Amino acid sequence: MERLVRRAMHKDTESFIQLIEENRQSMMKVAYGFFTEEEDVADVIQQTILNAFEHIGELRKVSYFKTWLIRILINNCNQLYNSKKHTLSEDQIMEYGKPDTYPVDNEFFQLLSMLQPDDRIIFYLYFGEEYTTKEISRILEIKESTIRSRIHRGKEHLRKHLHREEWAL
């Protein structure tokens, strides 16, 4: 990957596109941590790709590429999310925030739908991307203890909402 990043930093579009493709799943999952609509996910990913290509020459360390890309994506997600909140009517806001309308019914989306909106992106970065709480704190610019408490809260929330059947180990 490092070779691809170095080439992309010299504006080699083919290498950059390959990097995006390698990180496409991660980007989609991050975006679905903010939005349920495909169109919104597509919008923020598109904007992120353009932003990243424009600024990739400023990347300080090639090994940091993915984290850097995710941070750009999260910034764009926050922008779009807040702009939607400002333009929607009250009824539309109530509909917009509903967690149950992901495009596909699979385990990933079902799990997201059970979490508080604030917890979804943290859960994905922690369990999906396996960032440390310190790294997530830096990415989201949220205090690390808040990250930990939200992970704890999210797991508690899942425990309460699952109808359980205990298995013997």
Footprint of another protein on residues 91-150 (CB under 8 A)? 103-108, 110-111, 113-114, 123-124, 127-128, 130, 132, 134-135, 137-138, 141-146, 148-149
The interface with another protein within residues 44-63 (CB under 8 A) comprises: 45-46, 49-50, 53, 57-58, 60-61, 63
Does residue 162 bind another protein (CB under 8 A)? yes
DSSP 168: P
Q: What's the CA gap between 64 and 135, in Å, rounded?
A: 12
**How far, in Å, are 35, 83, 102, 162 from residue 119 at the CA level?**
13, 20, 16, 17
Task: State which of residues 87, 89, 91, 166 lies at the interface with another protein (CB under 8 A).
Answer: 166
Dihedral angle computed from the Cα positions of residues 93, 95, 100 and 102, in that order, rounded to the nearest 10 degrees: -80
Rounded to the nearest whole angstrom, what is the least distance from the CB of residue 78 to another protein in the complex?
6
Q: Is 35 in the site for another protein (CB under 8 A)?
A: no
